[in-house]
Amino acid sequence: MRIDLHCHSTASDGTDTPAELVRNAAAAGLDVVALTDHDTTRGYAEAIAAVPEGLTLVTGAELSCRIDGVSMHMLAYLFDPEEPELLAERELVRDDRVPRAHGMIAKLNELGVPVTWEQVARIAGDGSVGRPHVATALVELGVVPTVGDAFTADWLADGGRAFVEKHETDPFEAIRLIKGAGGVAVFAHPGAAKRGRTVPESAIAKMAAAGLDGIEVDHMDHEPETRARLRELAGELELLTTGSSDYHGSRKTCVLGEYTTDPEVYGEITRRATGASPVSGTGGGHSF
Ligand SMILES: [Zn+2]
Ligand SMILES: [Zn+2]
């Protein structure tokens, strides 16, 4: 079984529509794929309707969190998308995205970059606008060669010259909300040092005590020694370990299924979740 538990669609900053994502996942030979757009469940209906036979879709989201000034992402799986408390928190984060993009554009204009809101909005299309869309605009304008090159202190990295903070959820609150909605909480790419400061292990231990289910270990932003240490830590804290592509379509270089999750871990995630069930493609209707 090939299981990829972290993928983005055009509902946030991926380039595949939700329907394209599930079709591409099947074509890539995956058995299970998770749709985990940033702070939104907007892609669910389209993805669920398009799940091909032989593929199982895990619904989820990647929630923007912050602890002691360090930004981090929390993956939430199989929660009830209608649960009002978690829904309200996602809306709070999402409603902050447009003013934040305007703020980054204003800072870039001050730095002499002629980026406009119209350009960034066009790039975002139907997706909830985010920093990668601003980064893509910088590539279009020839300011940087690739999207990744925009995520530096010179431009859009955390604390960078054109960076603007956004509303982010306290991770302990996120864990409480996810569990309250019947979901499973997995700390995304906890050792992604090239994205900025990482969360100390002592904080991960506290999150484990607060109900965190797992940590994402096999991820493109983790060096081999980081993965080894995270696996050790997960053992100490009795956390599940996952592996995922963090696929963004053509916005990033990773491909579907580049890293995968052990079937036993996947089974444990589905056993713990009570908010929603995975959706299997039957070639016909589906139950949810
Ligand atoms: Zn992330
Ligand atoms: Zn992601």
Quote the pLDDT of residue 164. Answer: 94
Q: How far is the CA of 188 from the centre of ligand 2 (A)?
A: 7
For ligand 2, a single-atom ion, which residues have Cβ within 5 Å? Answer: 62, 246
Question: How many domains is the chain built from?
Answer: 2
CATH of residue 135: 1.10.150.650
The mean predicted confidence, pLDDT, of the chain is: 94
Cα–ligand 2 centroid distance for 51 (angstroms): 20
State how far the Cα of 34 lies from the Cα of 109, in Å rounded to an integer.
37
Which one is predicted more confidently, 250 or 88?
88
The pTM assigned to this predicted structure is: 0.86
> Are 87 and 126 contained in the same domain?
no
Q: 122 in a domain, yes or no?
A: yes
pLDDT at 76: 98
> What confidence category does residue 283 fall into, taking pLDDT thresholds of 50, 70 and 90?
low
State how far the Cα of 97 lies from the Cα of 76, in Å rounded to an integer: 20
Helices (H), 96-223: 97-110, 117-124, 131-140, 147-150, 171-180, 201-209
Q: Which of 252, 236, 259, 255 shows the shortest CA–CA distance to 188?
A: 259
Res 132 pLDDT > 60: yes
Let me know whether 87 and 108 are in one domain. Answer: no
**Band of the pLDDT at 288, cuts 50, 70, 90?**
very low
Q: What are phi and psi of 47, to 5 degrees?
A: -65, -45
CATH number of the structural domain spanning residue 26:
3.20.20.140
Task: Kindly state the DSSP code that residue 169 receives in the 8-state scheme.
Answer: B
Is residue 84 included in any domain, yes or no?
A: yes
Q: Are residues 63 and 119 in the same domain?
A: no
Q: Which ligand is nearest to the CA of 7?
A: 2
Domain with 89 in it: 3-93+167-280
pLDDT attached to residue 194: 81
Considering the domain boundaries, does residue 255 fall inside one?
yes
Which ligand has an atom closest to residue 6 CA? 2
Note the ligand closest to the C-alpha atom of 244: 2
Residue by residue, DSSP assigns 56-75 as EEEEEEEEEEEETTEEEEEE
112 C-alpha vs ligand 2 centroid, how far in Å?
30
The torsion defined by the Cα of 8, 13, 17 and 18, in degrees rounded to 10, comes to: 30
